């Protein structure tokens, strides 16, 4: 089940491997605190592997898009039909300016966000220090939006979900026995010059990576299972998700990514899992 958003680092192609890392359906609540395009949730829900779900992201403007698609999909589609079509490239910066003025909620906001997501460069979402979206126009030969039927399918799968704009600490604090959590945080950069920090105003460096790993282990000790994705680097495998702390490196896929300006290649990723940790092992 494909999402309606293009998303840098999206997990649609790895969704099967991530599903396998959970070792079965979720018996409790499914939590996802780095929602992005919701590719993993949509895959799991479509397969009947999750029931109740709490979905969150630090980017409140993104969360409002998911809310609008869930609650007002027909109004979102009507607003999308009014967006530029044949002259989309010439009007891109006009739409971007309108988006930055707001408001950042409701069907019109969702339509602008989705349109910019498809018309902007490589599906990136980036804001400057003032919180203004600043991705340039894409190089596509044509503007392609998902079919309305896909919006309706995604809306149906989002029914009954709880959508929040919270940090991972608040979300993981609620997870416990029988619950599943999938975490797809901003990745540890491949090099000192490869750090992408403009997704939202909240930084996500090594201290935050380690705090997330500690929160994941607390969930595991409470009887939940957590699956996490990151770059396949020694610091990730040995220091952030170390086997000595109960983390298992269940898969190490190589995924096509933009690796430098104008170039693409395959990069190593790691899918780690932890929990539930029995009391005897935790002692």
pLDDT (tens digit, 9 = 90+) per residue, 233-243? Answer: 999 999 999 99
**pLDDT grade for 202, boundaries at 50, 70 and 90:** low
Query: What's the CATH architecture for 12-58+166-282?
Result: 3-Layer(aba) Sandwich (3.40)
Topology of 69-154 in CATH? Adenine-specific Methyltransferase; domain 2 (1.10.1020)
Q: Report whether 121 contacts 137 (CB < 8 A).
A: yes
Question: Which has the closest alpha carbon to 163: 48, 22, 77, 52?
Answer: 52
Confidence check: pLDDT of 199 > 70: no
DSSP states along 25-38: --SS-EEESS-TT-
Give the model's pLDDT for residue 80: 98
Mean pLDDT throughout 134-148? 95
CA distance 161 to 90: 38
**In this predicted structure, which of 23-37, 156-170, 260-274 has the lowest mean pLDDT?**
260-274
Question: Which has the closest alpha carbon to 229: 200, 263, 267?
Answer: 267
Confidence check: pLDDT of 197 > 50: no
CA distance 111 to 118: 11
Give the model's pLDDT for residue 206: 92
Give the model's pLDDT for residue 282: 56
pLDDT above 70 covers a percentage of the chain that reads 91
For 41-57, what is each residue's pLDDT tens digit?
Answer: 999 999 999 999 999 99
Q: Report whether 109 contacts 76 (CB < 8 A).
A: no
Q: Report whether 59 contacts 7 (CB < 8 A).
A: no
Give the model's pLDDT for residue 29: 98
Confidence check: pLDDT of 112 > 50: yes
For 53-74, what is each residue's pLDDT tens digit?
Answer: 999 999 999 999 999 999 999 9
Confidence check: pLDDT of 217 > 50: yes
**pLDDT grade for 108, boundaries at 50, 70 and 90:** very high
3-state SS class at 139: coil
**pLDDT grade for 280, boundaries at 50, 70 and 90:** low
List where CATH 1.10.1020.10 sits in the chain. 69-154
Residue 170 neighbours by CB distance under 10 Å: 11
List where CATH 3.40.50.150 sits in the chain. 12-58+166-282
Provide φ and ψ at 274, rounded to 5°: -150, 140
Give the model's pLDDT for residue 258: 58
For 148-169, what is each residue's pLDDT tens digit?
Answer: 999 999 999 999 999 999 999 9
Confidence check: pLDDT of 228 > 80: yes
Give the model's pLDDT for residue 200: 47
**pLDDT grade for 196, boundaries at 50, 70 and 90:** very low
């Amino acid at each position: 089940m494909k999402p309606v958003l293009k998303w840098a680092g999206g997990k649609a192609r790895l969704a099967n491997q991530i599903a396998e890392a959970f070792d079965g359906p979720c018996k409790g609540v499914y939590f996802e605190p780095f929602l992005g395009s919701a590719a993993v949730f949509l895959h799991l829900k479509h397969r009947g592997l999750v029931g109740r779900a709490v979905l969150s992201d630090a980017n409140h403007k993104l969360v409002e898009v998911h809310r609008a698609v869930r609650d007002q999909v027909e109004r979102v589609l009507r607003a999308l039909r009014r967006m530029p079509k044949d002259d989309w490239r010439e009007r891109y910066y006009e739409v971007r300016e309108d988006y930055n003025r707001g408001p950042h909620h409701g069907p019109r906001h969702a339509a602008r966000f989705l349109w910019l997501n498809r018309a902007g460069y490589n599906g990136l979402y980036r804001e400057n220090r003032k919180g203004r979206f600043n991705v340039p126009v894409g190089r596509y030969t044509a503007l392609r939006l998902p079919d309305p039927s896909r919006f309706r399918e995604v809306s149906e799968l989002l029914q009954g979900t709880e959508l929040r704009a919270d940090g991972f600490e608040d979300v993981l604090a609620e997870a416990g026995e029988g619950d599943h959590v999938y975490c797809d945080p901003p990745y540890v950069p491949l090099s000192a010059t490869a750090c992408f920090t403009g997704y939202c105003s909240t930084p996500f460096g090594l201290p935050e990576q380690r705090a997330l790993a500690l929160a994941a282990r607390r969930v595991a000790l409470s009887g939940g299972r957590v699956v996490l994705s990151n770059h396949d680097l020694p610091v990730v495998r040995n220091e952030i998700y170390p086997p000595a702390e109960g983390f298992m490196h269940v898969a190490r896929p190589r995924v096509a990514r933009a690796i430098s300006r104008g170039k693409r290649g395959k990069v190593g990723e790691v899918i780690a899992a932890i929990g539930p940790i029995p009391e005897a092992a935790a002692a």
